[in-house]
Amino acid sequence: MSTATTAVPADTRAGGPSRILAVFRFHFVNPTIVAWMPLGITGIIFAMNWAIWFIVHTATTEGGEEMSNGTSWSGASMFIFVWLLVLAVQAMNRTFHLALGLGATRRDYYLGTVAALLVACAGWAIVFGVLGLVEDATGGWGLNGHMFASVYFGDDGPFARTWYVFLLMLFFASLGLVAGALWVRWRTWGILGFGVVLGFLLIGGLAWIALTNAWAQVGAFFAGLGFAGAYPLLLIPVVVAGLLGFLALRRATARS
């Protein structure tokens, strides 16, 4: 999450937990990439959406409820989830070889990187949760708009919504983590293979549901789980991606 030209903590060569902490700190040396840039872009996206809500609100005769129903399906906030995916890939691409050259082991590097991503996801989920509270308290920023309290994040209250957002952020970050590890190990071929496998898994799953005419059963299954039961299922691919990322990284060399 930092650039290779930034300063490196002096204790990278220390043992065990000290190396993990050094790698963790290394990823936050440049806060612009981790915080300020995505925060600024999110602010711009919000301003553009607010302007659209204002135009629609003043140019139509629809009631506030109709306006609210329309904006509740907004995907404007998805930028930050994709950013976390890219951030994970970028972090490993820019810091892995340098960290190894400074004495960090692959295991310590991976654990430090995972810890940094966990903290980044938690921090952004809290920001998301606070903005969602403000959105609720102001009636959709005064215009019945939705960006941080969209229908995708459930209706189980602000704390549950923050938890769901955190889990979704972990999912995207874990995809970036394994993609970054594959890039470090096999470069372009690793990313291409990862994309092909994901594509076949997705298409295969949809084909299986379609061929068995199981759409109703799948829908009923997730409806029965609700948001509280469905979102934690994301931890399964998160753990799988984490293990795959470590397996790919353990054989990567400083000259991969």
The residue count for the chain: 256
- Half-sphere exposure in the Cβ direction for 191 (13 Å, CA): 11
What is the arithmetic mean of pLDDT over 143-172?
94
**What is the residue extent of each domain of the chain?**
10-249
The confidence score (pLDDT) of residue 158 equals 93
Which pLDDT band, with edges at 50, 70 and 90, does 58 fall under? confident
- Alpha-carbon span 87 to 123, nearest angstrom: 14
Q: Tell me the angle at which helices 106-137 and 158-186 cross, rounded to the nearest 10 degrees.
A: 150
Query: Which residues touch 150 (CB under 8 Å, ≥6 apart)?
Result: 72, 73, 74, 75, 77
What's the whole-number average pLDDT of the chain?
89
pLDDT reported for residue 7: 47
Q: So what's the pLDDT on residue 1?
A: 63
> Which tokens go with 5?
């030209």
Helices (H), the chain: 17-26, 31, 37-59, 64-71, 78-101, 106-137, 158-186, 188-211, 215-230, 235-249
Which pLDDT score is estimated for 18? Answer: 86
- Segment 109-114 mean pLDDT: 96
Counting residues of the chain whose pLDDT is more than 90, the rounded percentage is 71
Q: Can you give the pLDDT at residue 115? A: 97
Per-residue pLDDT reduced to its tens digit, 192-226? 999 999 999 999 999 999 999 999 999 999 999 99
Residues 199 and 162: their CA atoms lie apart, in Å, by 29
